[in-house]
Structures are given as C-alpha cells and as structure tokens.
Amino acid sequence: MLAFILFVSWLLQLYIYVLIAAAVVSWLIAFNVINTSNQLVSALVQFLYAVTEPVLRPIRNILPNFGGIDISPIVVILIIVFIQSVVLGNIAQSL
C-alpha cells in the first residue's frame, strides 16, 4: 500500500511539472518567442493543452477575472501540494 501512495505522489509531482511547462509555453507563445507553426511545437502545445485544460477549466470558471492574469495553475499546484502533504501523508502515517 505504501508503494501505491508513493506512486500517486510521484504522479502528482509529475503533473505539477506538466502544469509549469504549460504555463511557460503559453508565456513563450504570448511573447512570440516560439512559433506555433512548427510541427513539433504545435504537437507539444496540443499535448499540454489536452492534459492540463480539463483540470484548469473548472478552476478558471470559479475564479474571478484578474484582467488577463491566469492564476489557475497556481491554485491547482497548491491543491496538489495539499493532497501530497496532508491527505497522502495522513494515509501513509495511518498504515
């Protein structure tokens, strides 16, 4: 059971890295640093969008409009850190 908890924690940490990558790529696209007409970049952007958008969209619907600043990745990262430290920590401690 402890191995399963560690695996879930590892998956959550991996998802945090994917969220950070998606945020950085969106900034690079917004400032025209990378070009989305490149096939590799376009595939990467589509993958990051497909993986992160189902989680970020409900958070964006709840949060108020901050004038073009999207803090939904920060909220999701904080939720994941809470799950890792409190929920998984208490489950592991009870075993």
Residues in Cβ contact with 29 at an 8 Å cutoff, skipping those fewer than 6 apart: 36, 45
Confidence of residue 95 (pLDDT cuts 50, 70, 90): confident
More confident call, 95 vs 49? 49
So what's the pLDDT on residue 75?
97
Distance CA 48, CA 13 (A): 15
So what's the pLDDT on residue 67?
86
- Whether the CB-CB separation of 9 and 88 falls below 8 Å is answered with yes
The yes-or-no verdict on residue 42 having pLDDT over 90 is yes
Distance CA 81, CA 88 (A): 10
Rounded mean pLDDT of 20-41?
93
The pTM of the whole model exceeds 0.75: yes
Helix (H) or strand (E) holding 42: helix 39-62
Strand, coil or helix: what is 31?
A: coil
